[in-house]
């Protein structure tokens, strides 16, 4: 626990450091940190430094790749260049070892074995051995390459369980069997640990840096007339500074603007409105977004996307009117099939029915149509004389005749049935019975 104190006569004491250099660097780092903490062009500087570092990473990577390509060419395997590059990239990501290490290792193995498949297999095993034995990959690869050509001197440090005499005379297969027995799966186990995961992340970040560097180089090659690195660095610096200045100016503008009370309130109001609009528009935009995604996946050209959306929208509108028309038609069809209504209509059409019967029929019709007021009216007019005879039933039983196979058959059959019953009930000779 550090206690509060007041120091008097404080002075830098070089005797406190063991070496003068560490004193200077210690102070410099503190000053540098203080400057950074004050925000003195930190962002622009960081951007410049990152740009330089990423370009350097890319340049180193290119150099290593060029060396490997040259080796392949010398061995007459230039055609495998693309496959090997892809192998190394994949191995780098899966094993967590940077490709800067993998390329020279692969090259060494290739030079020893003269076989790509053998080199690939040995490289994967070398990674396991390196992790399992805590030896650098470079050392392991060198030992394997030597062992391949019969020189087993460097294998003692791996403690393979072979005696010195056995080690001297062991064949490469025997050696590899011993390696497999001791170190197989070591890298996989390591990658499962926190340190392994961190290593993989670091490797991937390094790859990303190289990609960014590659992009930066290309970008500034396009911009710069002189293709030298100096020009590129100055352009990065200028860009970094001007980008930094732009954002600084923007931030200052917004900060000062946002401080004004009216503006502050407007901003708050705008935020609320945006939230409302977002919800409303989202419901509208969503179907189009989905349509867009669908067409993006089907890889249509943008012009045809627009045309299709137009046609799609038009067909939606057309379909809506069709649906409406169909709904009306269905309602009409439903009314046609309403046997009760048909019977009442048919009965009302008869001029010879009594007034009371007519009133009753009208009341029934009002009930069928759901017209409560009319039904009450006609219900009140109907005499309660139950003896008033109407030889005809108030409800006409209509039933289909014959076999109904189609819609039309059914309609025709019901119409015939109504006519038949009506004629029987209300037609001439009905009262003759």
Partner 1 sequence: MPALEIRGNTDLRKALRKFTPDLEKQLKKELGRALRPVVTKAKGFVEDAAPMRGWEARSFSEASFPVYNAETIRRGIKYSTGVSKPNRDGFTSMARIMNNSRAGAIYEQAGIKNLQGQQWVGPNGLAGHKYSHSNNPKAGAQFIVNLPPIVSSLKGRGRLIYRAWRDSRGVAEGAAMKAIDKATTQFYVRNKSQRFRRAA
Residue ranges in contact with partner 1 by CB under 8 A: 1, 3-17, 23, 26-27, 30
Distance CA(268)–CA(263), nearest Å, equals 9
Residue with tokens 């690195």: 229
Question: Toward partner 1, which CB reaches closer, 7 or 301?
Answer: 7
Contact 145, 155 (CB under 8 A): no
Report the nearest approach of partner 1 to the CB of residue 16 (Å).
Answer: 3
Report the nearest approach of partner 1 to the CB of residue 37 (Å).
Answer: 15
Sequence-distant (≥ 6) Cβ neighbours of residue 283 within 8 angstroms: none
Distance CA(398)–CA(73), nearest Å, equals 97
- Helix ranges (DSSP H) in 75-193: 81-95, 99-113, 116-133, 137-148, 164-169, 172-183, 186-191
Report the nearest approach of partner 1 to the CB of residue 35 (Å).
Answer: 15
Question: Toward partner 1, which CB reaches closer, 30 or 383?
Answer: 30
Contact 106, 112 (CB under 8 A): no
Q: Which two tokens stand for residue 93?
A: 């990501």
CA distances, 160 to each of 167, 171, 183, 282 (Å): 9, 14, 10, 66
DSSP 299: T
Distance CA(204)–CA(201), nearest Å, equals 5
Question: Toward partner 1, which CB reaches closer, 6 or 164?
Answer: 6
Report the nearest approach of partner 1 to the CB of residue 36 (Å).
Answer: 16
Report the nearest approach of partner 1 to the CB of residue 194 (Å).
Answer: 19
Instruction: Return the C-alpha torsion angle 241, 243, 247, 252, nearest 10.
Output: 40
Report the nearest approach of partner 1 to the CB of residue 22 (Å).
Answer: 9
CA distances, 129 to each of 81, 126, 322, 385 (Å): 26, 5, 74, 112
Question: Toward partner 1, which CB reaches closer, 2 or 321?
Answer: 2
| Helices 194-223/229-259 angle, 10° precision | 100
Counting Cα atoms < 13 Å in the Cβ hemisphere of 299 gives: 0
Question: Toward partner 1, which CB reaches closer, 36 or 215?
Answer: 36
Report the nearest approach of partner 1 to the CB of residue 9 (Å).
Answer: 3
Question: Toward partner 1, which CB reaches closer, 23 or 339?
Answer: 23
Report the nearest approach of partner 1 to the CB of residue 1 (Å).
Answer: 7
Question: Toward partner 1, which CB reaches closer, 13 or 173?
Answer: 13
Residue with tokens 């500087």: 45
CA distances, 273 to each of 21, 268, 269 (Å): 61, 9, 6
Report the nearest approach of partner 1 to the CB of residue 6 (Å).
Answer: 4
Contact 128, 183 (CB under 8 A): yes
Question: Toward partner 1, which CB reaches closer, 29 or 327?
Answer: 29
Distance CA(202)–CA(245), nearest Å, equals 31
CA distances, 144 to each of 168, 214, 344, 385 (Å): 14, 34, 104, 119
Report the nearest approach of partner 1 to the CB of residue 31 (Å).
Answer: 10
Question: Toward partner 1, which CB reaches closer, 5 or 432?
Answer: 5
Report the nearest approach of partner 1 to the CB of residue 77 (Å).
Answer: 56
Distance CA(120)–CA(101), nearest Å, equals 14
Question: Toward partner 1, which CB reaches closer, 20 or 276?
Answer: 20
Question: Toward partner 1, which CB reaches closer, 9 or 370?
Answer: 9
Sequence-distant (≥ 6) Cβ neighbours of residue 72 within 8 angstroms: 78, 80, 81, 84, 110
DSSP 206: H
């Amino acid at each position: 626990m550090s206690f509060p104190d007041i120091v008097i006569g404080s002075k830098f004491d070089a005797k406190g450091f063991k070496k003068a250099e560490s004193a200077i660097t210690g102070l410099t780092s503190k000053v540098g940190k203080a400057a950074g903490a004050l925000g003195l062009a930190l962002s622009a500087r960081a951007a410049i430094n990152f740009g330089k570092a990423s370009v350097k990473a890319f340049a180193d990577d290119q150099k290593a790749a060029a060396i490997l390509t040259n080796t392949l060419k010398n061995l007459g395997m230039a055609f495998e260049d693309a496959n090997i590059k892809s192998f190394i990239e994949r191995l780098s990501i899966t094993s967590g070892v940077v490709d800067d290490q993998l390329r020279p290792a692969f090259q060494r193995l290739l030079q020893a074995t003269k076989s790509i498949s053998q080199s690939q297999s040995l490289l994967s095993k070398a990674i396991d051995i390196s992790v399992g034995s805590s030896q650098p990959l470079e050392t392991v690869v060198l030992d394997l390459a030597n062992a391949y050509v019969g020189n087993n001197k460097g294998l003692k440090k791996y403690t393979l369980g072979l005696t010195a005499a056995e080690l001297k005379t062991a064949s490469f297969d025997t050696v590899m069997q011993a390696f497999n027995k001791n170190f197989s799966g070591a890298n996989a186990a390591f990658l499962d640990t926190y340190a392994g995961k961190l290593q993989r992340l670091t490797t991937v970040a390094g790859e990303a840096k190289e990609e960014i560097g590659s992009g930066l180089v290309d970008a500034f090659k396009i911009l710069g007339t002189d293709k030298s690195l100096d020009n590129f660095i100055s352009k990065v610096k200028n860009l970094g500074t001007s980008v930094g200045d732009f954002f600084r100016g923007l931030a200052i503008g917004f900060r000062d603007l946002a401080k004004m009370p009216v503006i502050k309130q407007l901003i708050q109001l705008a935020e609320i409105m945006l939230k409302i609009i977002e919800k409303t528009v989202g419901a509208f935009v969503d179907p189009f977004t989905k349509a867009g995604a669908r067409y993006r996946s089907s890889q249509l050209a943008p012009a045809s996307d627009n045309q299709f959306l137009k046609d799609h929208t038009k067909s939606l509108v057309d379909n809506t009117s069709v649906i409406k028309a169909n709904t009306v038609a269905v309602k009409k069809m439903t009314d046609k099939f309403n046997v009760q209504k048909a019977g009442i209509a048919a009965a009302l059409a008869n001029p010879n029915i009594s007034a009371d019967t007519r009133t009753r029929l009208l009341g029934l019709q009002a009930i069928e149509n759901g017209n409560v007021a009319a039904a009450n009216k006609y219900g009140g007019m109907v005499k309660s004389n139950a003896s008033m005879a109407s030889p005809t039933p108030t409800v006409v039983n209509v039933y289909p005749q014959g076999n109904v196979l189609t819609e039309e058959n059914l309609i025709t059959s019901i119409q015939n049935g109504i006519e038949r019953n009506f004629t029987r009930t209300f037609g001439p000779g009905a009262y003759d019975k």
